[in-house]
Amino acid sequence: MPARFDSRPEDRLAHKLPDRLRNCVKALVGMAAGGCVAATASAGLRDLTLVGSGLNSPVYATQAPGYEDYLFVVEQRGTIRLLNLNTRTVVNAPFLDIQGLVDDADNEQGLLGLAFAPDFATSGHFYVNYTHDPTPGAPGLDRTRVDRYTVVNPGTDLVTSVGTRQPVLSFDQDFSNHNGGWLGVSPNDGHLYIATGDGGSGNDPNNRAQTLSTRLGKMLRIDPTGDDFPADANENYAVPADNPFVGIAGAGTLPEIWSYGLRNPWRNSFDRDTGDLWIGDVGQGAREEISFQSGDSAGGENYGWRLREGDIATPGVGGPEPAGHVPPVYDYFSNGQSLFGGNSVVGGYVYRGPDPDLQGTYFFADSFPRQLWTFDPDDPDGTVANIETTVNANGAGLNTPVSFGEDLIGNLYIVDRAGRIFRIGADLITTVGDYNGNGLVEQGDLDLVLQNWGRDTADLGVPGGWINDFPQGLVDQAELDGVLLNWGDTAVPGFDGVVVPEPASLLLAGGGVALSLTRRRG
């Protein structure tokens, strides 16, 4: 893994602090008997909070600048709905309704992806990925479409006109399944990334994923603000000059390809801090996998499908690793059994939200059967943990996780196929690190931590509350991290903070037994 995963938390935090505090961070850490506590795979989780319900087959959730009170929820049948996080209700009118364009919104087809342009706050541009039937009622292949829409008054308008549609690109699908559908904008380069499936059926019968003359089974990378195809009304994008296959001759190699060898990448994400790309690739029947691309990659990775499924040769059609193969950072059995088996991986996110105990932890899931997991990106196999029990998923009413989502300040959400949205963390209207209760994380909060270092939090009357600490805990590294990670933050209307235990372990309610559901290879 890249060296940056080994960087110390105090170094990563330094840029957020005033100059007069930077030099004392290491001293503070040294005072904490053991230094900064690294994020652990099972740390900081006790609850899922239901923030919305009544949605129709949701498949994705995200947030946009200017809409801090809302989550944008993609519904597979062709609508994008606004979920008001203050009232926890869904706005009646869809933010976007393209049901007339979306074909066969069942199984794996439909409206599948949403991404906002980097300049959305001024341009109002956003992008959607969906399947479309060009000849309704007649035989023929469906197509994947990526279109751009525009909000006239970004930050104010709650409805987008379908008349603002501009095609970006489209391509035929071989079959009805394996459509991919994810869209994402890299925080490093601002380009739009498009994840595509291998075209469907089983075992990639047309060998699309390993063929560079097709968009299927790929990660595409484009600049949708340009147009290299002025004569084609349906292709409105530019190819970044540093794409890995630009200028490569032979067999019609497509320059918009960024990486290849994917089967059905279902839910991917960029780490907002590093730009690293995490890919959840659904397996054929033997392995589910999480693949990785460093934020400083030059592209061109071959993730192996159809020759490789996870870490093994694909049963029946596979063989040796192809040249330049990039194996997954984590894979597991597609057998639906045990705490570490499943049938359909759901890629997730590296946590970069307000909870200091979860910093750098990767969350992911499986839909069938429902499974929720985490791992430390430095050591996925050694730290992977099943968190079904620790988040009380069944008690919370979580049915079938199909996606994760992230808001503007880094809180993570779980999208339930049954129409519900959950946030990871319990309900407290407060700001992590605001220990003096004035609505701002600042010098006064740091002073409280230093003045009370090592004291029992149960004995301290603090207006904001020692919300990073488990009951009967001490003022220690968790509280210091709460201040440093959130320095300068203010209380955000509608933001519910989180209650987290000490990072060393989780305790089963009433039992006092340390819970450690981990899987190690051997």
Q: Is the pLDDT of residue 168 over 60?
A: yes
Check residue 520 and give its pLDDT. Answer: 36
Using pLDDT thresholds of 50, 70 and 90, give the confidence band for residue 431.
low
Closest Cα to residue 82, out of 165, 151, 129?
151
Report residue 254 as tokens.
């497509």
Check residue 521 and give its pLDDT. Answer: 37
Which of 26-30, 116-120, 223-227 shows the lowest mean pLDDT across its residues? 26-30
**Portion of the chain with pLDDT greater than 90, in percent:** 64
Check residue 447 and give its pLDDT. Answer: 87
CA 225 – CA 358 distance, rounded (Å): 36
**Portion of the chain with pLDDT greater than 70, in percent:** 79
- For residues 93 and 460, the answer to whether their CB atoms sit within 8 Å is no
Taking only the tens place, the pLDDT of each residue in 61-112 is 999 999 999 999 999 999 999 999 989 999 999 999 999 999 876 789 999 9
- For residues 250 and 322, the answer to whether their CB atoms sit within 8 Å is no
Taking only the tens place, the pLDDT of each residue in 446-492 is 888 888 888 876 666 665 555 555 334 678 887 788 788 788 876 54
154-165: string of b/e by CB count within 10 Å (b at 16+)?
beeeeebeeebb
Check residue 234 and give its pLDDT. Answer: 96
Using pLDDT thresholds of 50, 70 and 90, give the confidence band for residue 250.
confident
Cβ neighbour number for residue 250 with a 10 Å cutoff:
7
Three-class SS of residue 394? helix
What's the average model confidence in pLDDT over 235-250? 94
Taking only the tens place, the pLDDT of each residue in 121-153 is 999 999 999 999 988 877 778 999 999 999 999
Which of 22-36, 379-393, 403-417 shows the lowest mean pLDDT across its residues? 22-36
Using pLDDT thresholds of 50, 70 and 90, give the confidence band for residue 1.
very low
Q: Which residues pair with 169 in a beta bridge?
A: 146
CA 266 – CA 402 distance, rounded (Å): 9
The DSSP result for 26-40, as a single string, is HHHHHTTSS-SPPP-
CA 260 – CA 27 distance, rounded (Å): 46
Check residue 444 and give its pLDDT. Answer: 84
Report residue 495 as tokens.
């933001």
What 3 state SS string does 100-120 have?
A: CCCCCCCCCCCEEEEEECCCH
Check residue 467 and give its pLDDT. Answer: 55
With residue 47 as reference, give the H or E element that holds it: none
Check residue 188 and give its pLDDT. Answer: 97
Using pLDDT thresholds of 50, 70 and 90, give the confidence band for residue 42.
very low
- For residues 91 and 159, the answer to whether their CB atoms sit within 8 Å is no
Rg (CA), the chain: 23
Q: Is the pLDDT of residue 302 over 90?
A: yes
CA 434 – CA 359 distance, rounded (Å): 18
Pick the CATH number of 48-424 from 3.30.70.520, 3.30.565.10, 2.40.128.20, 2.120.10.30: 2.120.10.30
Q: Which residue has the higher pLDDT, 141 or 245?
A: 245
- For residues 193 and 243, the answer to whether their CB atoms sit within 8 Å is no
Report residue 505 as tokens.
């372990």
Q: What is the largest CA-CA distance in the chain?
A: 75
Q: Is the pLDDT of residue 503 over 70?
A: no
pTM of the model: 0.79
Q: Mean pLDDT, the chain, as a whole number?
A: 83
Q: Is the pLDDT of residue 519 over 90?
A: no
Report residue 327 as tokens.
């194996």
Q: Which residues pair with 81 in a beta bridge?
A: 73
Check residue 249 and give its pLDDT. Answer: 76
In the chain, what are the domain boundaries? 3-36+430-485, 48-424
- Phi, psi (deg, nearest 5) at residue 162: -70, -15
